[in-house]
Amino acid sequence: MRRDFCDGIGIARILNATLVLPKFEVAAYWNESSGFADVFDVDYFIQQTKGFVELVKELPEEIVSREPYRVDCSKRKGQFDYVEAVLPALLEHRYISLTPAISQRRDRYPLYAKAALCQGCYNALRLNKALEAKGSELFKLIPKPFLSLHLRFEPDMVAYSQCEYQGLSSTSLNAIEASRGDRKPWTGDAALIWRNRGKCPLTPKETAFVLQSLKIPTDTTIYLAAGDGLMEMEDFTAVYTNVYTKSSLLNSEDIFRMHGNTKAALDYFVSINSDAYIATYFGNMDKMVSAMRAVNRHYKTLALSRRAFANFTAIGLKGVELADALWKSHREDFVMGRGTALPDCFCEFTL
């Protein structure tokens, strides 16, 4: 949600268009729908983006009953694609909706669009007061110092990766198979090539091994920033025993009443404020968290290398040899800390 909306701010500025606060389409993930105000502080956002981009909470009456003209931006990259290919549709129809573009080239934005994106994404976009209060409550309950770990090993995620695993429980294998649909796993040489490209999620057992390879003590306090349905977690908690989740810390009634997106927002809040953050997959949430941590100068941020783990195990490394190789492959990132954000967002400039 944050990623797509941040892109929308930049694109609206490029097109000199008015941005309508979105209604999030999250039914595909959590079987629910919600609006911008259910997660973010609307008034603060509008106030902070004034002068960067025009914003309205609702559509004007004269077009509220119309369906927007839909524009697929999934292949649009940079200023000239938007001006040449999208602006004519906007001028003709006056009201358009954009398909999110996963591969946005924000570095190609003109300076004024970068300014709008940076201001909107990193300064203006904050959780609403109720969610921030709940996030603060959760943060205070976690023993300090702590590491926030975003571990991904849910059945649908593993099924989507098209990877196969040895040694999983029958319960996990059945859950993965039920989620596969048409996405059948790679086999033979193709499966090995796919895994060596780093396409396969680390299991909880593999994650625990990598953390130990990085000399992270097994008594470290870990906040598990993850949704429901993680498989094989007993392999992780058998090694790292001080693991906390929002479900273990917050009132069960509070958790029951929360939507999936608000639960994710709590994980995001804790993760951008934690002493350290580690991602096992480096997906959308990880990119937004690491960017915000970099902006806030929280540099203890690390993405574990699935490719390195696959490459080393493919040549037969195990035990101490594997641990040493993993330490060396992660050492620079682990020591220096790394976050990813639009580089220009670290600069001060005026319009």
Residues 43 and 110 in one domain: yes
Contact yes or no for 148/223 (Cβ under 8 A): yes
Residues 71 and 142 in one domain: no
Confidence band (pLDDT; 50, 70, 90) for 1?
confident
The residue whose two tokens read 């906040």 is 223
* 281-335 pLDDT tens trace: 988 889 889 888 888 888 899 999 999 999 999 999 999 999 999 999 998 776 5
Q: Could you give the percent of the chain with pLDDT greater than 70? A: 88
Residues 112 and 138 in one domain: no
Residues 91 and 146 in one domain: no
Residues 147 and 285 in one domain: yes
* 282-294 pLDDT tens trace: 888 898 898 888 8
Question: 117 exposed, middle or buried (CB, 10 Å; 0-12, 13-18, 19+)?
Answer: buried
Phi, psi of 312 (to 5 degrees): -70, -40
* Boundary-marking domain end, from 126, 143, 172: 126
- Work out whether the CA dihedral 236, 238, 241, 247 comes out positive or negative: positive
Q: How large is the average pLDDT for residues 176-184?
A: 92
The pLDDT of residue 95 is: 93
User: Among 298, 295, 265, 270, which residue's Cα sits nearest to residue 41?
Assistant: 265
∠ Cα 147 148 153 (to 5°) = 125
Instruction: Residue 248: give its domain's CATH number.
Output: 3.40.50
Is 207 among the domain residues? Answer: yes
The pLDDT of residue 75 is: 65
Is 163 among the domain residues? Answer: no
User: 88 is written with which tokens?
Assistant: 């004519």
Is 176 among the domain residues? Answer: no
How many other CB atoms are there within 10 angstroms of residue 83's CB atom? 14
Residues 112 and 249 in one domain: no
pTM value is: 0.89
Strand partners, 150: 279
Average pLDDT, the chain: 88
Residues 90 and 142 in one domain: no
Domain count, the chain: 2
Structural domain of 249: 130-153+201-336
Is 342 among the domain residues? Answer: no
The pLDDT of residue 78 is: 56
